[in-house]
Chains A and B, each alone.
Chain A
Amino acid sequence: GENVEQHPSTLSVQEGDSAVIKCTYSDSASNYFPWYKQELGKGPQLIIDIRSNVGEKKDQRIAVTLNKTAKHFSLHITETQPEDSAVYFCAASKNNAGKSTFGDGTTLTVKP
Chain B
Amino acid sequence: EAQVTQNPRYLITVTGKKLTVTCSQNMNHEYMSWYRQDPGLGLRQIYYSMNVEVTDKGDVPEGYKVSRKEKRNFPLILESPSPNQTSLYFCASSPSGGKNSPLHFGNGTRLTVT
Contacts and interface: CB of A to CB of B under 8 A. Distances in A.
Q: Do A and B come from one complex?
A: yes
Interface of A: 1, 6, 9, 31-32, 34, 36, 41-46, 49, 51, 89, 91, 93-105
Given A95-B98, A98-B56, 6 more contacts: A36-B105, A45-B105, A89-B42, A98-B97, A98-B98, A99-B58
A100 B108 contact: no
Nearest to B31: A98
Interface centre among B43, B50, B58, B98 (most CB of A within 10 A): B43
Given A46-B102, A49-B102, A89-B42, A99 B107 contact: no
A102 B107 CA distance: 18
Contacts of B99: 95
Interface of B: 4, 31, 33, 35, 40-45, 48, 50, 56, 58-59, 90, 92, 97-100, 102-108
Nearest to B40: A104
A99 B56 CA distance: 9
Contact of B106 (A1, A43, A95, A104): A43
Contacts of A105: 42-43
A101 B41 CA distance: 11
Given A44-B43, A98-B50, A104-B42, A93 B100 contact: yes
Given A42-B108, A43-B108, A44-B90, A96 B98 contact: yes
A103 B42 contact: yes
Contacts of B35: 102
B27 to A, nearest CB: 14
A103 B35 CA distance: 13
B94 to A, nearest CB: 9
A6 B42 CA distance: 10
A43 B42 contact: no
A42 to B, nearest CB: 6
B55 to A, nearest CB: 10
Contacts of B31: 98
A100 B33 contact: yes
A1 B106 CA distance: 26
